[in-house]
Structure 1
Amino acid sequence: MNQHSHKDYETVRIAVIRARWHADIVDQCVQAFEAELSALGDGRFSVDVFDVPGAYEIPLHAQTLAQTGRYAAILGAAFVVNGGIYRHEFVASAVIDGMMNVQLSTGVPVLSAVLTPHNYHDSTEHHRFFFEHFTVKGKEAANACVQILAARERVMA
C-alpha cells in the first residue's frame, strides 16, 4: 500500500509575471510554462498570471507576490529588445539583478525568462524565431521550477 502525506496532495501555487511589451512573443513562454507544468505536475501546480507594463516592473511585483507567502515560486517573463533609443542591456541587467535580490531576500525562487537578444529587428524572420524560442524557454522554465522546488523540499525534509 502506498502511503502519502497530506502534503503530497496540496496544490503548489506558482506566480507568473509577464511584461506586455511584445506580448505575443512573451505569451508563448507563459503558455508553454503552464502546459509543461501541467504535464510534469499531474495537476499539482496552480499558476496565477499577473501582467505588468514592461520588464522593469517585474522585480517589484515579484517582491510583492513573494511577501504574501502564497507562492512557492515566481517566474518573470519579458522580451527586452533594442528599441534604438535606450541601452536595453541596462534594463535587462536591472531586471535580472532585481529578481535575484527578491529571491535572496524572501527565500522564494524567482525564475527568469527575461530575455534580451543582441539584435532584434521587427521582421518576420526575427519574430518567428523568438516566437518559437520563447516556447522553448517556457518549457525550460517549467522544468527548472519543478527541479528547484524538489531540491528545496529535500533540504527542508
Structure 2
Amino acid sequence: MATKDLSQYDANSVPSAQNIRFGIVVAEWNQEITFALAEGAINTLKKHGATDENILVKYVPGSFELPLGAQYFAEMENVDAVIILGCVIQGETRHFDFICQGVTQGTIDLNLKYNKPFVFGVLTTENQQQALDRAGGKHGNKGDEAAITAIKMVALKTSFQ
C-alpha cells in the first residue's frame, strides 16, 4: 500500500493563518518522533502566516494524555484550533489498541464538545521506522498535514459565520 508524501500539498489552496491562534499539544513519549512532528507543524503554520505569538505549545507525558492537554487549551487559552501530536508504536500487547482508541475517541469528543478543530496528528505505526518515515522521512511529516488541516478547518468554520 502506497503512502503519499504528507508534506506535499498545493500551498495556494491553504488560507492565510495570519490571525489564527493555535494550540499544539505534544506527547513526550517517542519524542524523537513527536518533536519532529511539532517542528513540522510549527514551520508550516509560520509558512502560512502564523506568528510565534499565535502558536502555543504544551507537552504531555504520553499520547493517552493528549486529549486532556488539548481540553486544557480549549478551556484556558483563547485558541482557534488545537493540533494534537503523538506517536503510538505497536508493541507485543494490546496496550497499543487501548491507547489509540482512547486518543481517537477523546479527539472526536473534543471537536464536538467545543465546536472547534482539534486536529488528530497522532501516528499509529507498526514500528519505529514507519514512524520516522512519517515524521520528516520518506513520507514527509504528519505535522505539516495536521497544520494544514487546522488552518483549513478554522477557515471553514469562519465561512459559516
- State the TM-score, normalized to the length of structure 1: 0.81
Q: Give the whole-Å Cα distance in 1 for the aligned partners of 2:84 and 2:96.
A: 17
Structure with greater Cα Rg: 1
Q: Give the whole-Å Cα distance in 2 for the aligned partners of 1:135 and 1:51.
A: 23
Give 5+ residue unaligned stretches, structure 1: 1-7
**Does the 8 Å contact 1:13/1:47 carry over to 2?**
yes
Offset of 1:129 from its aligned partner? 2.3
Distance of aligned partners of 1:45 and 1:151 in 2 relative to their CA distance in 1, 3 Å threshold: farther
Q: Give the whole-Å Cα distance in 2 for the aligned partners of 1:47 and 1:35.
A: 10
Distance of aligned partners of 1:149 and 1:45 in 2 relative to their CA distance in 1, 3 Å threshold: farther
Deviations 1:3-43 (A, max 9, x none): xxxxx9x7422111111111011111111111111111264
Q: 1:95 aligns with which of 90, 103, 116?
A: 103
1:59 is the counterpart of 2:63: no
Distance of aligned partners of 1:147 and 1:16 in 2 relative to their CA distance in 1, 3 Å threshold: same
Corresponding residue for residue 152 of structure 1: 157
**Does the 8 Å contact 1:19/1:52 carry over to 2?**
yes
Q: Give the whole-Å Cα distance in 1 for the aligned partners of 2:23 and 2:65.
A: 15
3-state secondary structure, aligned to 2:86: strand
Give 5+ residue unaligned stretches, structure 2: 1-15
Corresponding residue for residue 115 of structure 2: 107
Residue identity in the other structure for 1:30: A
In proportion to residue count, which structure has more helix? 1
**Does the 8 Å contact 1:67/1:106 carry over to 2?**
no
Runs of 4+ with deviation above 6 angstroms: none
Provide the aligned length of Structure 1 versus Structure 2. Answer: 145
Offset of 1:108 from its aligned partner? 1.9
- State the TM-score, normalized to the length of structure 2: 0.79
1:13 is the counterpart of 2:17: no
